Amino acid sequence: MPPPPIPFHILRAHHAPISALHFTRGNTHLFAGDQDGVVSVTDLSARRVVASWEAHDKGVLSVGEWDGGVVSQGRDNKINFYARVPPGPRGQGAPAVVQTMPSNSLNFCQFSLAPLEAAGEALLALPNLTDSELIDIYHVPSLKRLHSAINYVPRATGPDAPRSGLVMSLHLHVRDAQVFLATGYEDGRVEVWSCGVSDVERMWDGRKGAETGEQAWKRLWEGKAHNEAVMAMAVDPAFTRAFTVSADHLLGRVDLSSVIDGTAEPPASVLTTYAMNQIGHASLATSHDGLVVGVGGWDGRIRLFSAATFKPLGTLAYHRESVQALAFAQPPTALLLEGGTGGGDDDNETVELGAESDSDDDDGAGDAAGPRDRWLASGGKDRRIGLWALMDFGAGGRAAGGR
């Protein structure tokens, strides 16, 4: 029997459960957020924290990257856009806040940011500020709200009228002059919407549009894989498949390609489910090539599956409590966090490090980490972040030490 899989490195920089993870472009740094509102930036070359600060009064819901800097979303109903992390020892690297915008964090829904073809511009999807069942679209960097209540559908009123519940997950994607949005809801449903990029450029309100007949967004599909709330949703970078998990034992998959192309026959074939042996899942992520989906469980284990066939690829076990955040590394690029470009790891400029040790290799395999674009980061309720080295699944490999 092969030895049980273990992380090659453990990060211990946080003092509260981890709630969000994000690899930067080029995989030079890892952003992390915790339930105390602290955000950290880890240099992956040296595997040391180079910036850590209290970004929010309450817990962090999500972290991301924009214009080389951190974007953080908190339970304090704020989204902060930061300048690039300056060089310097730990404790001196908290970046300046460039912009702040209000958000609705009642439903724990993370933002979704999709770049536009125009350089330096993007679309941002968020739950509506006053109605957590609806979705708004903003422009970045102006932070101007372009579309409001895009998923508004007139429904019967009254105490017995069905309701979709809160928006639990959002995933925006821009392709070929079209904007696509996959959404997960509190009642277990998933919807797929589309809108022309040119239509996004003009102001529009879904509630008013329902009265006048002027529609900008079209619902392409809806289905339901779970009887309870969608706890997590992940969509591959090409927007070909979406995956969902809940408190139950099911892993749901939506064939987005057939939805977008209109080739689903019948429509029910769009949604398939796989019965896992365990109930209760808190996190979900897909690899940058769309081949692998990782599921983080309440039992502290990470289960890897083939995105195309649901074939089990391995189980990763390290965390003592629930795995609340997962992130696969991004494709290798030359874009660095702190300015300039480079061709690879040897070209990466590492900021000066402080003397404090906030990570270790005692629990893993040291520097035998393999290519960074095959890394997986996991964040647990146990306050630790594990870095895992995965094999090339495209060549039929399994997780390092997988079983």
Q: Residue 93's pLDDT is what?
A: 62
pLDDT digits (tens, 9 = 90+) for 174-208: 998 999 999 999 999 999 999 999 999 889 999 99
From the candidate CATH numbers 2.130.10.10, 3.40.50.300, 3.40.630.10, 1.10.510.10, the one assigned to the domain spanning 9-154+163-395 = 2.130.10.10
Q: What is the DSSP string of 189-241?
A: EEEEEEEEHHHHTS-EEHHHHHHHT----EEEEEEES-SS---EEEE-TTSSE
Locate 393 and state its tokens.
């699944």
Locate 359 and state its tokens.
């990570």
Q: Residue 169's pLDDT is what?
A: 97
Q: Based on C-alpha coordinates, what's the Rg of the chain?
A: 21
How, if at all, do strands 178-185 and 241-245 pair? unpaired
91-101 average pLDDT score = 83
Q: Residue 336's pLDDT is what?
A: 36
pLDDT band at 35 (very low <50, low <70, confident <90, very high): very high
Backbone angles phi, psi at 52, to 5 degrees: -155, 130
Q: Residue 354's pLDDT is what?
A: 28
Q: Residue 112's pLDDT is what?
A: 98
pLDDT digits (tens, 9 = 90+) for 147-158: 999 999 887 555
Q: With a cut of 90, say whether residue 266 has pLDDT above it.
A: no
Q: Residue 157's pLDDT is what?
A: 54
| 85/92 Cα distance (integer angstroms) | 10
- Return the HEC string of 235-280: ECCCCCEEEEECCCCEEEEEEHHHHHHCCCCCHHHHEEEEECCCCC
Determine the residue type at 184.
G
Q: Residue 361's pLDDT is what?
A: 52
* Residue closest to 375 by CA, chosen among 112, 11, 3: 11
DSSP state of 141: T
Q: Residue 140's pLDDT is what?
A: 96
Work out the mean pLDDT of the chain and round it to a whole number.
Answer: 86
Q: What is the DSSP string of 342-392?
A: -SSGGGPPPPP--S---EESTTTTTT----GGGEEEEEETTS-EEEEEB--
pLDDT digits (tens, 9 = 90+) for 47-70: 999 999 999 999 999 999 999 899
Q: What is the DSSP string of 29-92?
A: EEEEEETTSEEEEEETTTTEEEEEEE--SS-EEEEEEETTEEEEEETTTEEEEEPPPPSSSTTS
Q: Residue 350's pLDDT is what?
A: 27
Locate 330 and state its tokens.
């991004």
Q: With a cut of 70, say whether residue 3 has pLDDT above it.
A: no
Locate 182 and state its tokens.
């996959």
Q: Residue 345's pLDDT is what?
A: 35
Alpha-carbon separation of residue 34 from 37, 62, 119, 229 (angstroms): 6, 9, 31, 22
* Residue closest to 152 by CA, chosen among 173, 142, 167, 140: 167
pLDDT digits (tens, 9 = 90+) for 351-386: 222 223 455 554 444 446 788 999 999 999 999 999
Return the percentage of the chain with pLDDT > 70, whole number. 82
Determine the residue type at 271.
L
385-398 average pLDDT score = 77
* Residue closest to 292 by CA, chosen among 245, 364, 221, 234: 234
pLDDT band at 165 (very low <50, low <70, confident <90, very high): confident
The model scores a pTM over 0.85:
yes
Which residue in this structure is represented by tokens 């927007």?
A: 239
pLDDT digits (tens, 9 = 90+) for 110-158: 999 999 987 899 999 999 999 999 999 999 999 999 999 999 988 755 5
Domain regions of the chain by residue span: 9-154+163-395
Backbone angles phi, psi at 43, to 5 degrees: -75, 115
pLDDT digits (tens, 9 = 90+) for 287-346: 999 999 999 999 999 999 999 999 999 999 999 999 999 999 999 764 333 333 333 333
pLDDT band at 92 (very low <50, low <70, confident <90, very high): low
261-290 average pLDDT score = 88
The answer to whether 5 and 400 have CB atoms below 8 angstroms apart is: yes
pLDDT band at 1 (very low <50, low <70, confident <90, very high): very low
